Amino acid sequence: MAKVKDKIIKKSVAKKMDKKTTAKKAVKAPTAKKVLKEKMQVQEEILMQPPRGMRDLLPGDQPYWNQLRRVLARVAIDYGFQRIDTPAVEYANLFVRSIGKGTDIVDKEMYMFTTKGGDKVALRPELTAGLGRAYIQHGMNVLSKPVKLFSTGPVYRYDRPQEGRYREHFQANFDAFGEQDPILDAQLIQLAHRVVTSLGIKNIQFQVNSIGCPKCRKEYQELLVAYFESKKQKLCLNCKKRLEINPLRILDCKEDKCIQVATTAPQSIDRLCTECRVHFKSLLEYLDELDLPYVINPRLVRGLSYYTKTVFEIWSGDEEGKKHSLGGGGRYDHLIEELGGEHTPAIGFGIGMDRIVQEMKRVHAKMYIEPKPRVFLAQLGDLAKKKSLNVFAELQKNGILTAESFGRGSLKSQLRVADRLGVEITLIIGQKEALDETVIVKDMVSGTQETVNHERLIIAVRKILKNNVVVSHEGE
């Protein structure tokens, strides 16, 4: 009997222990609600701003940008340049090969990454390399020369953001392939002058130089290295590295001590071969003939390794004598060949669109003013809303710029919008007009109004607009 009792007690204790263990497990097991809460806490906070060095182009700035885009497009047509757009992402070695090792762009500023497929790619740091790749890939060498291409778009450089400089910025490029005559160099500089002055930026100057061809540059580079070796202790750390990789870039250093050393350095124009000397002399004669404002800057080399012969930059000055670089370019006669194409002389330049817009603001340049609507369409009631969509489409189809305030229930609030816009005609569609297929046409200048059917609406609107233009002109 005692044994049976012991068994019953043991079973009872075991059951209690199982219940406690189960209870403990139940407490430890997280609920679905708790898991979701924990996941939400783990999620990173969304920052309400773009990454450093990038920004939004807001509607308030768009009049400047629209004016710039319009001028670029018009000048491209006038000078015979055709539009081309290349990808913002290319294989990284395209830029390494074309721009060159030892440049700040390749060594410090390129956004390079490996795709999921294992391809090493980069966000384009400039446009010319992509244009060169496209020229070869699409067989443009068979086209009549020169092949003139125009392109705009964002470029990316991981640089320390400064005033007017961004890690994502916009560039416009004009490039001509297949012609080595210096008249093309002069025409590109003339084109750059036309773009900038058309935007209201008048106080500009071109800085020009010739860095020679690979043949004469070799001798000059040896002379330059010997000079900088003797001044090595005065150079900045970066320039000491450049001395071994790309000594020409020392001339472009912005450090004060390097500028002082470069002032008395040998000049490339004193070491040009006969061909390069004749080319540069002809360019200067063309610039004199065009009466373009330029100075020879013997320290100008540009930051890319593919340049040969002509290099130039566009500078804008202010009243205090401070100069602002707006862009630049030069000749790159061997780039296409280095990328695997046939020998193709070429020249091009790029302008920083962000810097141009900033300069337009500084000089209070004229902005592009969007055309204002002269007609306002008001509607009241569900049926009127349905009818008004077709009326709106018909007006736009006939080239009549029309404003509206769809979604606003009150006719009074819609008419306030019409007054604020200063339109010349207000069209009103109510329940009755929707059923009758008519529209009330109110002349806001004379104050008269009439009801017309849909078939006569365009004629009635055009007649009023024509009369109002005449009245407005006579009143000036």
Backbone φ and ψ of 325, nearest 5°: -80, 130
Do 462 and 331 fall into the same domain?
no
d(CA 73, CA 67): 10
Instruction: Return d(Cα 267, Cα 290) in angstroms, integer.
Output: 26
Residue 341, domain extent: 59-213+273-362
The answer to whether residue 475 scores a pLDDT higher than 90 is: no
Inside any domain, residue 247: no
- pLDDT at res. 462: 92
| Confidence check: pLDDT of 23 > 50 | no
Q: In what order do the strands lie in the sheet with 402-404?
A: 402-404, 375-379, 425-429, 438-443, 449-453
- Looking at the structure, tell me whether residues 388 and 286 fall in a common domain: no
Mark whether 422 and 321 lie in a shared domain: no
pLDDT over threshold 80, residue 280? yes
* 180/319 same-domain check: yes
What pLDDT band is residue 471 in, cutting at 50, 70 and 90?
Answer: very low
State whether 87 and 178 are in the same domain: yes
CATH number at residue 196: 3.30.930.10
Q: Do residues 135 and 342 make contact, with C-beta atoms less than 8 angstroms apart?
A: no
* Model confidence pLDDT, tens digit, residues 190-218: 999 999 999 999 999 999 999 999 889 88
Of 335, 362, 389, the residue that ends a domain is: 362
Which among 348, 12, 27, 405 is positioned nearest to 174, based on CA atoms?
Answer: 348
Classify residue 383: in a domain, yes or no: yes
Q: Which of the listed ranges 280-284, 402-406, 458-462 does the model predict with the highest average pLDDT? A: 280-284
Tens of pLDDT along 103-157?
A: 778 878 899 999 999 999 999 999 999 999 999 999 999 999 999 999 999 999 9
Contact 311, 301 (CB under 8 A): yes
Q: What is the pLDDT of residues 232-252, one digit of tens each?
A: 888 898 888 888 888 888 888
Q: What is the pLDDT of residue 319?
A: 63
Using the predicted structure, report yes or no on whether residue 335 has a pLDDT greater than 90: yes
Same domain, 343 and 466: no
Check whether residue 151 and residue 202 sit in a common domain.
yes
**Percent of the chain clearing pLDDT 70 (strictly above):** 87
Q: Tell me whether residue 231 is in a domain.
A: no
Which stretch of DSSP H or E encloses residue 278? helix 274-290
Give the CATH number of the domain where residue 408 resides. Answer: 3.40.50.800
Dist CA 466 CA 400 (whole Å): 12
Q: What is the DSSP letter of 281?
A: H
Together in a domain, 75 and 167 = yes
In a domain, residue 369? The reply is: no
Instruction: Check whether residue 462 and residue 337 sit in a common domain.
Output: no
Say how many domains are in the chain. Answer: 3
Task: Pick 86 or 470 by higher pLDDT.
Answer: 86
69 and 37 within one domain: no
For the stretch 363-417, pLDDT in tens is: 998 887 888 899 999 888 888 888 888 899 999 999 999 998 887 668 888 888 8
Task: Reply yes or no on whether the pLDDT at 25 is more than 70.
Answer: no
Which band of pLDDT confidence, cut at 50, 70 and 90, is reported for residue 24? Answer: very low
DSSP reduced 3-state for 177:
strand
**Is the model's pLDDT at 2 over the cut of 60?**
no
Position 11 scores a pLDDT of 53
Q: Single out the residue in 313, 334, 362 at which a domain terminates.
A: 362
Of 362, 393, 416, the residue at which a domain comes to its end is: 362
Rounded mean pLDDT, 48-70: 92
**CB of 170 closer than 8 Å to CB of 154:** yes
The residue-averaged pLDDT of 219-243 equals 88
Does residue 348 lie in a domain region? yes
Q: Are residues 338 and 381 in the same domain?
A: no
> What is the per-residue pLDDT for 243?
85
Minimum mean pLDDT range among 45-54, 99-108, 341-350, 410-419: 99-108
Co-location of 72 and 203 in the same domain = yes
Question: Mean pLDDT over residues 176-183, rounded?
Answer: 96
Amino acid at 453: N
For residue 65, being part of any structural domain is answered with yes
